[in-house]
Amino acid sequence: MARIATPLTDRRIRQTHPTAKPLKLADGGGMYLLLNPDGSRYWRLDYRFGGKRKTLALGVYPEVTLGEARRRRCAARALLAEGRDPAAERKAGKAGKPLPDGSEQAYALALLGEGVWDWNLRSGRVRHNPQWARLMGLDVQQTEHTWQEAIACLQEQDRAGVMSAIRACLDGNAVFDREHRIRHADGTSIWLHNRGEVVERDAEGNPLRMVGSLREVTELRREALAMRQRNLLLQIIAAVNEMLVAERPEHELMARICQELVRDDLFRMAWVGLVNEDGVTVDSVAEAGFENTYLSKVEIRCDDSPQGQGPTGTAIRLGITAINDDTETNQQFAPWRERALLHGYRSSAATPLRAYGRIIGALTVYSEEPHAFGPEKVILLEKLAADLGVVMGHRAALAALRESEERFRLLLDASPEAIFGVDSQGICTFVNPACLDMLGYTQAEVLGKSIHALIHHSYPDGRPYPKEQCHIRSSTLEGKPTHVDSEVHWRKDGTSFPVEYWSHPMYHNGQLVGAVVNFIDISERKRMEQALRESEERYRLISSVSTDLLYSCMQTADGDLIIDWATTSADQVFGYSLDEIMAKGCWRHLVHPDDFAEFDRNIAYLAPGQRSECELRILAKDGAVHYIRAYTLAMEAADDQAGNRLYGACQDITERRQAEARIEFLAHHDVLTGLPNRVLLRDRFEQALARAQRSQKLVAMLFLDLDNFKRVNDTLGHVAGDQLLLEAVKRLTHSTRDSDTISRQGGDEFILLLNEIPDMETVERVAADILRLLAEPVEINGHAMNASCSIGIAMYPQDGSDFDSLLQKADTAMYNAKDAGRNTYRFFDDRMNRQAREHLMLQNRLHQALYRAELQLHYQPQLDADSGKVTGVEALLRWNNPELGDISPARFIPVAEDSGLIVPIGAWVIEQSCRQAQTWRQAGLPDIIMSVNLSALQFRRAGLIETVAGALARSGLPPHLLELELTESILLQDVENTLDTVRQLKALGIRLAIDDFGTGYSSLSYLKRFAVDRLKIDQSFVRDIHTDPDDAAIVSAIIQLARSLRLGIIAEGVETAEQLAFLREAGCSEVQGYLFSRPLAPAAMDAFLRMP
């Protein structure tokens, strides 16, 4: 075997051994396969060891058998694992472990980047060089690892196959030689080619030691896969072209393409998606591959939404091939990442499908490897998609042409009009069945014949019709469309019939080649025209003798009706002559303004074919109002007229309506006075009741009886009695509102129905006014008469909610008034009288209390539910009258609200509360919130903003320490003005709270619109919170609502430890109630605040 003593340069080697094939090494050396003069081959190796460049000639191939070469190679690998230089040791003849034969080959493998391993089956440990550990993803600083550590590096899918091959090698059946994958700790995987064999066995043949080498082949496999995929794609394109030529159905073609793309593991999945009619969503029409159910659980779009940012949507939207190189890192693939990785789709590509001159969808494929789509593969996919798009477009065009021709044939055959075609000489080229039926010919008798000679040769009287005068020639010779509204055609049996026909020139490649003619039989129309002329004559004769107004008018775009014809009876209905009607022109000018809506609905805007019947008031020429009943029919106007035509008849029903109105009035009114009777009063009561229920106000029924009527009637007669009644009605009218009702029940009895009464004082004022007016003398026939009365009053809802019940109680109260001496009024019972008197008394004294310093404020503390720290106080109004003592707020607050005194009292409360809060601050006490209740009347009155701002300015209290408590009903009334007031209050910097939350309208929308700061849970919910599950659920819901909206929450009326514990557990932040303190006077509250 030839040796090389000194290192050779690449150039010298190539000069000496022209067949040398260098393999460059990572350390700058090289390895060459050389030929000896005798034809044998050997390896020549340049390498570095210990910082020096060295040369080593490796064994000549023919000198050893195949088995010996394997033994030497495996032994050399074991030596290399110890990091020893084989060339140096061989030259020096170093003692110790002998240098195995073939170690040069093993060392060459190490320099070529191979890992060398030595597995001791008895100890289960693997000795190796650093390259083996690096390739296996293990610690390169260690020279040994356990066999289990090595096996754990194998990718799960390859582990069974590797173990099976190793077992076969250990059994002596084969050399271990396998390619498999290793997964590193960072998640990446590489392909390795692993070879090994058993080099030592015991006497019984059991394996003791196995050595081998491995090298990375990832790139080689990738290149091989890429080559295989290119070949497969080319095969698919060829197969697709064959299918295109065979004109297979589109769905079958697309399904076959998908199947071919996933054959032999070319791609993991492939599908064709087409854009839906909405132009946004993309649906699969064909798919194939591993786990192709993937598409059933994902949404793919082609718009700018996140679901349109993937390869498929991008390809369709932008018209380019879109590639997802790595599913794990591509952020635009985020909507599908989890599901795609679950199916093993590591990368994907989509290329647009173009057909019909636009993008209709995309072809999308998925690979199990990242970065799987190089330029060459993309070009082949684009070629495949382009071929598919061309065929789809071509097939669609052919299908559209065939469909168009079939549609034309069907339309031609189905048309009820006669249609035929002629060339430039008038020879028939096609004809439809309707034309043959009208003429009585067969198709063979017409095609190729002169149409003029067959059907157009004579006039109706038999005179010849010159061919040169035929209007069809204008189309066939001059290219002009022609329309003839009346002409004669002849049938095969020699009979003629009138027709209307149209001819249109026909062109081919820009050349005039003939005409298409269609005609209709107008025999029936001619008969109808004659019948219409006869009918119009009969109608003219009838209308000339009718007393009803008959007319015809045109309907304009703006709803006006221009009368263009009317019968001579117009003067009887409208008071205008026919000439004046025609001159006035517009129908609307005759209609009463209050009936314009009825006129528009039933006449002015009728659609063609609609009929209507209505009653209207007409303003006659003399100014009188006439009632008419109008019957109207709308028809389409002639083609040359805009709008619609109306035909109508009008009857004068004025006398009938007057009679009906009189009967209706007498059925519901008193004949003498014209006042409503009991029937109408009952109806008015039902209306008043409904309004009162909506407005939550009162209804008063006053039963009135004249005290002296019988004496006047008996003394002066019925005429004088009637005069007294009429005068009483006049005075009662002055005492009531237009919305109230005065009814005469008969004789001298009247009932007054007062609607929407705010309070009982109002009823008392009306009753007193009636007594005063009727007490004034009445002069009758020279006699001064006194018309006093007695009044009984019943109230809704206190005394009942139905008409008969209130009427009975008012009647009873009226008799009580008579018993009391007459000329007075009484409510239904004494208790109500006492209440009314007490109400008036409290009102008078409350008015004085504000100026006599009888009012004072007490304060109830509000505490943090967890720490017990005082966070605020609520100002509560108290009244101590020198004569009546302490008066409950439940008694005097309603009186203050009804009388309007709540406004000045409320202003006083705000002023005093701000002063007291600032006094505590100046005394060194911590800042706390001062809560003040605000009434609805005070909130609505002008000047509220100035009142609050003035109180803050005069007291010096920081605005954020003042909180106004509003009820839900305040916020939900007159929302826009309320919102403006709230904004102005918030602009001052104060806080707003919703008092008694949940007890009112419970509408949550205002919480968003109105910038409230805190919700207050009403004590009615807190009272039974630990015994009533409903109250507990409501409180918990309110607390959660407040926390969700980031609002403060406080519960009032906390009186027991159990209630407090529940509120704490539910998350309520603040509490208030007798458990902590009753409302305290300012001095006592001062002491409370100073408590530790």
pLDDT digits (tens, 9 = 90+) for 55-94: 554 443 333 333 433 444 444 444 444 444 444 444 444 3
Nearest to 576 by CA among 589, 559, 592, 593: 589
Count Cβ neighbours within 10 Å for each residue of 645-661 and write b for 16 or more, e otherwise: bbebbbbbebeebeeee
The radius of gyration computed from the CA coordinates of the chain, to the nearest angstrom, equals 55
Contacts of 350 (CB under 8 A, 6+ apart): 310, 311, 312, 314, 315, 316, 321, 322, 362, 363, 364, 365
Which whole-number Å values give the CA distances from 641 to 484, 553, 562, 605, 637, in the listed order? 21, 12, 13, 17, 6
Question: Locate tokens 């173009």: which residue?
Answer: 354
Q: Is residue 669 over pLDDT 70? A: yes
In terms of DSSP bridges, do strands 418-423 and 428-431 run parallel, antiparallel, or are they unpaired?
A: antiparallel
Going from N- to C-terminal start, the domains of the chain cover 64-215, 222-401, 415-523, 546-659, 672-828, 843-1090
Predicted confidence band of residue 97 (pLDDT cuts 50, 70, 90): very low
Reported residue count of the chain is 1092
CATH of domain 64-215: 3.30.450.20
In 3-state terms, what secondary structure has residue 612? strand
The pLDDT value recorded for residue 834 is: 60
Q: What is the pLDDT of residue 835?
A: 57
Task: Report strand pairing: 962-966 vs 929-933.
Answer: parallel
Q: Angle 975-987/944-955 helices, nearest 10 degrees?
A: 10
Give the best-scoring range by mean pLDDT among 390-394, 505-509, 985-989, 1041-1045: 985-989
Per mean pLDDT, which range of 240-254, 668-682, 807-821 is the poorest? 240-254
| Class of 222-401 in CATH | alpha beta
**Interval 990-1030: pLDDT, tens:** 999 998 787 655 556 667 778 899 999 999 899 989 888 98
Kindly provide the residue ranges of all beta strands, DSSP E only, lying in 772-908, ordered along the sequence.
777-780, 783-786, 789-796, 825-827, 855-864, 870-881, 885-887
Spell out the residues 6+ positions from residue 1038 whose beta carbon is closer than 8 angstroms to its own. 997, 998, 1015, 1017, 1021, 1049
Position 105 confidence tier, pLDDT thresholds 50, 70, 90: very low
Strand (E) positions, 66-124? 115-120
Mean pLDDT value across residues 567-594: 74
Tokens describing residue 299: 């949404």
**Residue range 189-204: average pLDDT?**
90
Looking at residue 522, its pLDDT comes to 86
Q: Which CATH number fits domain 672-828: 3.40.50.970, 3.30.450.20, 3.30.70.360, 3.30.70.270?
A: 3.30.70.270
Own/partner pairs, 567-572, CB within 8 angstroms, 24+ separation? 567/543, 568/544, 572/547, 572/652
Going by the DSSP 8-state scheme, the letter that residue 197 receives in this structure is E
Q: What's the pLDDT at 405?
A: 67
Same CATH topology for 222-401 and 415-523: the answer is yes
**Is the pLDDT reported for residue 985 higher than 90?**
yes
Please give the pLDDT value at position 997: 82
Q: What is the pLDDT of residues 686-732, one digit of tens each?
A: 999 999 988 889 999 999 999 878 777 766 788 888 888 898 899 99
What pLDDT is attached to residue 968? Answer: 80
Spatial distance between the Cα atoms of 115 and 956, rounded to a whole number of angstroms: 88
- Decide: 40 and 19 in contact? Cβ < 8 Å: no
pLDDT at 65: 37
Which CA distances in Å does 541 have to 132, 165, 545, 778? 121, 117, 7, 67
Rounded average pLDDT over 255-278: 87
Report the pLDDT value the prediction gives residue 63, as an integer from 0 to 100: 36
**Least confident segment among 89-103, 171-185, 513-527, 560-574:** 89-103
Residue 397: pLDDT band by 50, 70, 90 thresholds?
low
For 8-30, how does the pLDDT look when each residue is reduced to its tens digit (9 = 90+)?
344 444 444 444 444 443 344 44
Q: What is the pLDDT of residues 906-935, one digit of tens each?
A: 999 999 999 999 999 999 999 999 999 999
Least confident of 352-356, 377-381, 684-688, 822-826: 377-381
Q: pLDDT band at residue 234, thresholds of 50, 70 and 90?
A: low
Q: Which pLDDT does position 276 carry in this prediction?
A: 92
In this structure, of 189-193, 534-538, 767-771, the range with the lowest mean pLDDT score is 534-538
Which residues are CB-neighbours of 41 under 8 A, at least 6 positions away? 33, 34, 35, 60, 61
Domain 843-1090 has CATH 3.20.20.450: yes
CB burial of 106-132 (b: ≥16 within 10 Å; e: otherwise) equals bbbbbbbebbbbbbbbeeebbbbbbbb
CATH 2.120.10.30 fits 546-659, yes or no: no
pTM for the structure as a whole? 0.35
Could you report the per-residue pLDDT of 878-907, keeping only the tens digit for each? 999 999 899 999 889 988 987 889 999 999
Q: Which 3 state secondary structure label does DSSP give 740? A: coil
DSSP 603: I
- Highest mean pLDDT: which of 533-542, 582-591, 751-760? 751-760
Is the pLDDT score of 855 beyond 90?
yes
Tell me the mean pLDDT in the region 828-838. 64
The per-residue pLDDT for range 1024-1065, each reduced to its tens digit, is 898 889 899 999 999 999 998 899 999 999 999 999 999 999
Is 683 in a helix, a strand, or coil? Answer: helix
Q: What is d(CA 750, CA 741) in angstroms, rounded to the nearest whole number?
A: 10
User: Residue 93 has what pLDDT?
Assistant: 43
Per cent of the chain over pLDDT 70 is 81
pLDDT band at 44 (very low <50, low <70, confident <90, very high): low
Return the higher-pLDDT residue of 786 and 867: 867
pLDDT at 718: 83
**Whole-number Å distance between alpha carbons of 519 and 517:** 7
pLDDT at residue 109 is higher than 70: no
| Tens digit of each residue's pLDDT (9 = 90 or more) over 138-148 | 888 888 989 88
Mean pLDDT of 438-449: 90
The residue among 957 and 567 whose pLDDT is bigger is 957
**Better pLDDT: 81 or 1092:** 1092
In this structure, the number of other CB atoms found within 10 A of the CB of residue 989 comes to 13
Amino acid at 777: P
Of the chain, the percentage scoring pLDDT greater than 90 comes to 31
What is Dmax (Cα atoms) for the chain? 171
In which band, very low, low, confident or very high, does the pLDDT at 271 lie, cut at 50, 70 and 90? very high
**Can you tell me the mean pLDDT for 494-514?**
86
Q: What is the pLDDT of residue 60?
A: 36
| Helical packing angle, 902-922 and 889-899, nearest 10° | 120
- Can you tell me the mean pLDDT for 804-828? 87
Separation between Cα atoms, residue 781 and residue 787, nearest integer Å: 15
The rounded distance, in Å, linking the Cα atoms of 957 and 118 is 90
Q: What are 252's two structure tokens?
A: 């079958």
CATH annotation of 415-523? 3.30.450.20
SS3 307: helix
Q: Which residue reads 């009272």 in tokens?
A: 1023
Query: For position 745, what pLDDT does the model report?
Result: 87
Average pLDDT over residues 795-813: 90
Instruction: Kindly report the average pLDDT of the chain as a whole number.
Output: 81
Q: 1082 with 876: CB under 8 angstroms? A: no
Provide the total of helices (H) and of strands (E) in the chain, helices listed first: 38, 41
pLDDT of residue 110: 52
Per-residue pLDDT of 238-252, as tens digits, reads 666 665 555 667 778
Segment 319-335 mean pLDDT: 91
Report which of residues 474 and 531 the model is more confident about.
531
- 178, 213 in Cβ contact below 8 A? no
Question: Which of these, 421, 465, 417, 410, lies nearest to 437 by C-alpha position?
Answer: 417
**3-state SS class at 644:** strand
